[in-house]
Structure formats: C-alpha cells, structure tokens
A and B are shown apart, each in its own frame.
Chain A
Amino acid sequence: MHDKEQSVSYLDYKGKHSGIFAWILSTDHKRIGLLYLMASLLFFAVGVTFGFLMRLELIAPGRTIMDAQTYNSLFTLHGIIMIFLFVIPGLPAVFGNFFLPILIGAKDVAFPRLNLLSWWLYVLGALLAVISVFLPGGPADTGWTFYIPYSIRSTTNVMPALIAAFILGFSSILTGLNFIVTIHRMRAPGMTFFKMPLFAWSLYATAWVQILATPIIGITLLLVTVERMFGVGLFDPALGGDPVLYQHLFWIYSHPAVYIMILPAMGVVTEIIPVFSHRTIFGYKFIAFSSCAIALFGSMVWAHHMFTVGMSETAQVIFSLLTFLVAIPSAIKVFNWVATLYKGSISTDAPLLYALGFIFLFSIGGFTGLIQGALSVNMHIHDTSFIVAHFHYVMFGGTGFGIFAAMHYWFPKMFGKMYNMKTAKVGFWTLFVGFNTLYFPMFVMGWLGMPRRYFDYLPEFQIYHFISTIGSWILIVGLIIMFTNFIKALRSKTSYTNINPWSGETLEWTVPNKPPLENFEVIPTITAGPYEYKDNDEILTKEDN
C-alpha cells in the first residue's frame, strides 16, 4: 500500500525514547497536539461533572445535594478548569499544534523543544490546580476572577490556584510565540500570507493576543500572590490600594482572552464551510483582516465588565462604543460564511452541522453581548444569570462547538479511522437541543433578576432552573453519544485509507492519514489559494438535471 512504502505514521515511528517517554518527551508537533487533546479532554470531563453537580443543586430552592461553601468552590473550579485548561488550549494547542505546520506546508513548528516545554508547563499548572483541591483549607472559592478584596481574605487555597493560572498563562504565551514565528518563517515556498488557509490566519491573530495580553494577567496574579504573602497593600483598600485597579488589570487580559478562545473556533468554521459547500470562501481577505480587527478591538473593550463598579461616564461611553464596534468584524465573518454557503453544493455531514451550530449559537451569544454592552441595560442585567447564559452561548456554543467541529472534521486525518456518521449526527442534535434547553432559560431568569453564582433562589425562579437542569442531562447524553462514537471508531480494526474524505483542498488532505514524522515527503510548492473549487457549477447543473 502506498502508505507503507512512504513512511511510518506519527503514531508508530520509533524515536530516541520508548514507551510513554516516546510521547511525553516527543518534540513532534502532532504528538504534542495529541497530548494536549488527551489532557484537555480529561479536564473537560471534570469540568462537565462539576457543572452537572451545580445544576443538580439548583434544581430546587434551598440545599439539595451540597452546602453553599461546596457550591462556591465548584463554580470556582468549574471556571478555572474550563477556561484555563480546556477552552484556551482547546483549539490553538490541540488543533493548532497538530495542523498549523501541515496547513502551511512545514515539517514542524519553529521551536519544537519550546513546544514541548509549553506542554509540560500546562501539565504543571494543571497539577497545581488539582493539588489545590486536596490541600487542607479546601479549594478556592473566589470565582475564576479572583476579585479583590475577597481573594486576599479567603482562607481557602487561593495561592496554588493563582500560581497555577500564572503557569498556564506562561504556557499559553510560549505557544503563541511559537506560532507567530512558525507562520512568519516556515511557510512552504509560494505560500504567501494571502494563500494561507484561514485557520492559520485566525491562529496568527490569536497568537498576538496571547503574547501581548497574557503577561498582564501574569503580573496581576503575581501581585495578588505577593499581596497574600506579604500584605504589600497594592490592591488592599485597607492600606490605600485600589480593588478597582485590580479589576482593570484582570480584564485587560481576560477580555482579550475570550478572543483567544473564539478566534481559532472561527478559523475552524472557516475551514469547514467552503469544503462542505464545495465552494470558494466568500471574501477571503475580509475574513483574514476581520480576525486581526477582532484581536485589535477586542483588546480595548475590557472595562465593559465593570460598568457598575464606578468609572467616569466618558470612559463608560467610550468602552460601550468600542464594544459595539467589535461586533462588526464578527458579523463580517458570519455574513461571509452564509454567503459561502449560498449556491454551494452542500453536504450536511457532522462537521458542517457543528459549524452551523456554531454560527447559530454564536450569533445568539453575540447579539446578547451587544445587549449587555449597552450602558443602561447593563445596569439591569449586571451579575445576573443573563451574563452566564451569554458567556456559555459564546464559549460553549461558540468555542465548544468549534472544538467538536474540528474533532469531527480532522478525526480521520489524525487517527486513520472513521466514526459512524449517523451516530455523529444524532449526537449533534442531542447536544444542540440539550444546550439550548440548558442555557436559554438562564437568559429569561437573568432578565427577571436571578443573580449569578447564587446557591439559593426565590421559588418564582424554580421553573426556569428546573428546565435548565433537565437540559444539562440532555446535553450530557449528547456528549456521551459523541465520545462513545469516537472511542468505538478508535477501537475498530478497519483503518480508513481515504486521505481526502471531504474533498478538501488544503494541504492536510494531501498527506497520508496519520501523517508521518515530518508530514511531507517533499515540501510542496504552492501556486493557488486554499479553497479553489472550480467544479461547483458543474455539480450544481448535474444535480439540476
């Protein structure tokens, strides 16, 4: 077979080390991508479990299955784990690592050893987060935002959690740095910036946010650590420090961080849509530049998280205006995706369903974001479950579905196996229904005044909480269907040899499934753009006849 005579796959080759060391000491970008995938899915499972337990607690008012302190720790850990350990590394570190070099025609990233170091830092940070749960004192209960002054007063294990987040930030910085240099220096001959696949563009914009915003959270968390250890007073109001300054510094990173999470997901959707509608992407340059515009504007809107804490009116108006402006590049993308689908010959396989799910859910999340960005409305819904619903629509409905889309899209390439398409579709619909049942009621009750992060609530909110909890069960069933489908495929004996199952035109579909160590036998020379579907019209006419 043509696979064998070429070279051994990245899963099978023998390197310097053997056994588990062949993986955890490997500098191969594909193996590192897989390491990240396994670690982040593990933490995803933990985060989902915590979310499930919180929802179960909220099914009825008053204490149901846990006390208030446990609930506070759960939402803190749910946030830290989902954000720092799953959503942030979910696309760049997993699929970026695996596919960025292949997409631009390179043998590896620019600094393979630094790449391995990033993974080790990730593991170190993750371990610290886990340890903080079991140390005496109990897990942190501050929320993932570590707001001052509570985070310097709480007697729980806030320190390990802070240091964990610091280390994870460092890991993210190194990944971003690696990708920027890779994209600048390692593109195959002929692949200009405007011939790059758009996933690479979105990773490029993300990487800049990663390296320019993350150090701010690094120093901020470090200052909180110092505050807890020595009582320096920098944020402590008792010593003249300003807690609001902490919030500014926190959001200067943490708002751009949501673009670290969403941009690569948009990139994945941009890869999938043209392939499954068999049509050239509409407005390539607009999509590429809108990624950069989102990264740029997204870095200047942080104070919209703080409209109620006390700020000058001028500042509020400016931040509100900028918040509205970020919607423009996002909308440009949505319109371009829809325009690409128009008159395409669409095949509704699972990856496309997830991509469409992304567009639908992200649009709801995006529009409710605009509602929150309006100053007067913000006063009304600040710190209610409306915000929680918005956030989950963007982060789970957006990035989460983006990750699932990527998993379905690239699965055959990564593992040389194929999942059952029918089950995958059933999984998608269950997930989609469960998702909306879980999060949509939160919009309603938030609007009616249900505060976020509350362990208890008034009886009038019970109906919404009840529906929402039912939704969480459906959602989990969907996740189980999806993952058992993958596991079944992985365990099946039949290997899948079609190297281009979706007729994609980007470079990863030219290399064998389970690509070999250095991806390409011969580095390709690029002459055309990534999505040149010239036969779409022919297919359409044939179908019409």
Chain B
Amino acid sequence: MSVVAEHISEHVHRDDLGSRMGIWLFLFTELVLFGGMFLVYAVYRFTYQQEFHVAAKELNTLIGTLNTLILLTSSLTMVLAIVAIRKDNKFLSIFFQVITIFLAFGFMVNKYFEWMAKIHHGIYPGSETLLAKGNGEILFFGLYYVMTGLHGLHVLIGMVLIGVMTRFTMKGTVNSDKYIHLEAAGLYWHLVDIIWIFLFPLFYLIT
C-alpha cells in the first residue's frame, strides 16, 4: 500500500484499498438485490414444479448458450484490459475494453431477438396467450422477463461504465499507476457475468 498522501488542500485523498473495499461492498448489495429475486424464483419453482418444467422448454437454449459464451469471453477481455494497463500498454488496454463493449452489445442484440420472438408469439406479461396458460407458466415468464430484464439493464450500465473508462484511459486519467476505476468497472462487469451464470441454468437448462 502506498502511503496516503497528506496535507493536500481540497480533499484529494487517495486510498486504493479503501476504494476496492467500497466497490466490493457495493457488489454485495447487488448480490442481495438479485438474491431477493432468486428467492422469489425458488419459492415459485417449488410451488409450480410441473408448469415451470413445461414453460422452460419454450426458451431457446441455443441463444442462451451463445450469450453465455459471449459474456464469459467479455469477462476475459475485461481482465486482459486491466492486465494491459498494469503493464503500461495503453493501446492494448483500450483495444480490449472496446472488444468488451462490443461483446456486451452482441449480448444485448441476441437478447433483443430472443425477447422479440417471445413477444411475437404472444408471450409477454398481460397477453391473452400467456393468461390462457396456467398460473405457474405465467409466473415463469413473469420471472423470465423481470430477471433477464434487470440483468439486461445491468449490462447496459456496464457498457456505459466501460465506455467512460475507455475515455479515461485515452485521456490518461486511468494509467499504469492509477487504474482503480478501471478495476472497479471490471469487478462490476464480473458481477454482471456471474449473475448470468446463475440465470442461464435456472431458466434455460433445468427443464
């Protein structure tokens, strides 16, 4: 740990370990946030086992698998971007950050087509087709839209964050000595990834 700089006039106070602690605590809150939804999922899965089983067959496992691959790869490129900046390779770091954003974008495009196909088939909250089905299926798709929707929102926020970091890296605010912001964005990105790793089997694989 570097010594905390003292006697600097306007609250310029640097403590990378403290910042890292802060971001981890924030990630805990995100986990608890999604934890609430996983709890709701668990309760309804237990109550409506048969109907969840039927409903899950309607989801497209291929797109799900593809998206899992894309997101896992993007986590890798994010790590590489951080390693690159630590080794003072600014260009390579920017390159990997852009690839990460690109992969995230790909994830969202897939998600868009997946949702659109569902909506096209008349499966969305409040639709006649869905309301004609059993309660368990209504809840399954309700959870599907809410959980993947909130996850998608996190992907979008992650994209914006990494975009800002790319700008910072270009300007040199993020550099080989001070890359805590990029690291924070990276940790956030891994959270988005890990939540998907749980969503994927719960909705697509357990049929």
- A residues apposed to B, CB below 8 Å: 15-16, 27, 107-108, 110-112, 114, 173, 177-178, 180-181, 184-186, 211-216, 218-220, 222-223, 226, 230-234, 239-242, 245, 249, 252
| Residues of A contacting B40 in the complex (Cβ-Cβ under 8 angstroms) | 223, 234, 245, 249
Task: Type the 1/0 row for B160-190, where 1 means its CB is closer than 8 Å to any CB of A.
Answer: 0000000000000000000000000000000
Are A181 and B18 in contact, CB atoms less than 8 angstroms apart? Answer: yes
Are A234 and B28 in contact, CB atoms less than 8 angstroms apart? Answer: no
Cα of A181 to Cα of B44 in the assembled complex, Å: 37
Cα of A171 to Cα of B22 in the assembled complex, Å: 15
Contact A241:B15 (CB < 8 A) given known A181-B22, A219-B33: no
Query: Of the 9-residue stretches B73-81, B83-91, B93-101, B133-141, which lies at the interface with chain A?
Result: B133-141
Are A239 and B139 in contact, CB atoms less than 8 angstroms apart? Answer: yes
Determine whether B58 belongs to the interface, using a CB cutoff of 8 Å to chain A: no
Are B139 and A223 in contact, CB atoms less than 8 angstroms apart? Answer: no
Name the prevailing secondary structure of the A interface residues. helix
| Residues of B contacting A214 in the complex (Cβ-Cβ under 8 angstroms) | 29
Most buried by A among B40, B44, B136: B40
Are A239 and B36 in contact, CB atoms less than 8 angstroms apart? Answer: no
Q: Which residue of B lies closest to A111 (CB)?
A: B22
Are B29 and A112 in contact, CB atoms less than 8 angstroms apart? Answer: no
Are A239 and B21 in contact, CB atoms less than 8 angstroms apart? Answer: no
Query: Of the 9-residue stretches B111-119, B142-150, B196-204, which lies at the interface with chain A?
Result: B142-150
Most buried by A among B11, B30, B44, B126: B11
Are A231 and B126 in contact, CB atoms less than 8 angstroms apart? Answer: yes
Q: Which of A186, A215, A230, A240 contacts B125 (CB 8 A)?
A: A230
Contact A215:B143 (CB < 8 A) given known A110-B18, A234-B40, A249-B39: no
Listed A/B pairs (12) with beta-carbon separation below 8 Å: A27-B11, A108-B11, A112-B11, A211-B28, A213-B32, A215-B36, A216-B33, A219-B34, A226-B146, A233-B139, A242-B44, A249-B36
> Total number of A-B contacts with CB less than 8 angstroms?
103
| Residues of A contacting B150 in the complex (Cβ-Cβ under 8 angstroms) | 222
Most buried by B among A233, A249, A252: A233
Are B15 and A245 in contact, CB atoms less than 8 angstroms apart? Answer: no
- A215-B35, A222-B150, A241-B139 known; 9 new pairs, CB 8 Å cut-off, are A181-B18, A220-B36, A230-B125, A230-B126, A233-B125, A233-B139, A234-B146, A240-B135, A249-B36
Q: Which of B10, B37, B43 contacts A219 (CB 8 A)?
A: B37
Cα of A15 to Cα of B131 in the assembled complex, Å: 60
| Residues of A contacting B47 in the complex (Cβ-Cβ under 8 angstroms) | 242
Are B25 and A181 in contact, CB atoms less than 8 angstroms apart? Answer: yes
Are A219 and B29 in contact, CB atoms less than 8 angstroms apart? Answer: no
| Residues of B contacting A216 in the complex (Cβ-Cβ under 8 angstroms) | 32-33, 35-36
Cα of A27 to Cα of B10 in the assembled complex, Å: 10
Determine whether B48 belongs to the interface, using a CB cutoff of 8 Å to chain A: yes
Q: Which of B19, B35, B138 contacts A233 (CB 8 A)?
A: B138
| Residues of B contacting A234 in the complex (Cβ-Cβ under 8 angstroms) | 40, 139, 142-143, 146
- B residues apposed to A, CB below 8 Å: 10-11, 13, 15, 17-19, 21-22, 25-26, 28-30, 32-37, 39-40, 43-44, 47-48, 125-126, 131, 134-136, 138-139, 142-143, 145-146, 150
| Residues of B contacting A112 in the complex (Cβ-Cβ under 8 angstroms) | 11
Contact A184:B18 (CB < 8 A) given known A107-B13, A234-B139: yes
Q: Which residue of A lies closest to B7 (CB)?
A: A518
Cα of A185 to Cα of B13 in the assembled complex, Å: 12
Cα of A361 to Cα of B43 in the assembled complex, Å: 40
Are A212 and B18 in contact, CB atoms less than 8 angstroms apart? Answer: no
Name the prevailing secondary structure of the B interface residues. helix
Cα of A223 to Cα of B145 in the assembled complex, Å: 12
Q: Which residue of A lies closest to B11 (CB)?
A: A112
Give A453 Cβ to nearest chain B Cβ, in Å: 27
| Residues of B contacting A185 in the complex (Cβ-Cβ under 8 angstroms) | 15, 17-18, 21
Cα of A216 to Cα of B34 in the assembled complex, Å: 8
Q: Which residue of A lies closest to B20 (CB)?
A: A181
Cα of A481 to Cα of B146 in the assembled complex, Å: 52
Contact A239:B33 (CB < 8 A) given known A212-B28, A230-B125, A231-B125: no
Are A219 and B36 in contact, CB atoms less than 8 angstroms apart? Answer: yes
Are B135 and A239 in contact, CB atoms less than 8 angstroms apart? Answer: yes
Give B198 Cβ to nearest chain A Cβ, in Å: 15
Instruction: Please name the 3 residue pairs, one residue from A and one from B, whose CB atoms are nearest each other, closest first.
Output: A240-B135, A232-B142, A219-B36
Q: Which residue of A lies closest to B32 (CB)?
A: A215
| Residues of B contacting A211 in the complex (Cβ-Cβ under 8 angstroms) | 25, 28-29
Cα of A476 to Cα of B150 in the assembled complex, Å: 46
| Residues of B contacting A108 in the complex (Cβ-Cβ under 8 angstroms) | 11, 13
Q: Which of A212, A220, A223 contacts B29 (CB 8 A)?
A: A212
| Residues of B contacting A220 in the complex (Cβ-Cβ under 8 angstroms) | 36
| Residues of B contacting A222 in the complex (Cβ-Cβ under 8 angstroms) | 150
Q: Which residue of B lies closest to A110 (CB)?
A: B18
Are A232 and B125 in contact, CB atoms less than 8 angstroms apart? Answer: yes
Are B36 and A177 in contact, CB atoms less than 8 angstroms apart? Answer: no
Are B139 and A240 in contact, CB atoms less than 8 angstroms apart? Answer: yes
Q: Which of A114, A186, A223, A239 contacts B138 (CB 8 A)?
A: A239
Cα of A239 to Cα of B26 in the assembled complex, Å: 34
| Residues of A contacting B146 in the complex (Cβ-Cβ under 8 angstroms) | 223, 226, 232, 234
Are A242 and B43 in contact, CB atoms less than 8 angstroms apart? Answer: yes
Are A110 and B15 in contact, CB atoms less than 8 angstroms apart? Answer: yes
Q: Which residue of B lies closest to A182 (CB)?
A: B18
Are B142 and A233 in contact, CB atoms less than 8 angstroms apart? Answer: yes
| Residues of B contacting A241 in the complex (Cβ-Cβ under 8 angstroms) | 139
| Residues of B contacting A184 in the complex (Cβ-Cβ under 8 angstroms) | 18, 21
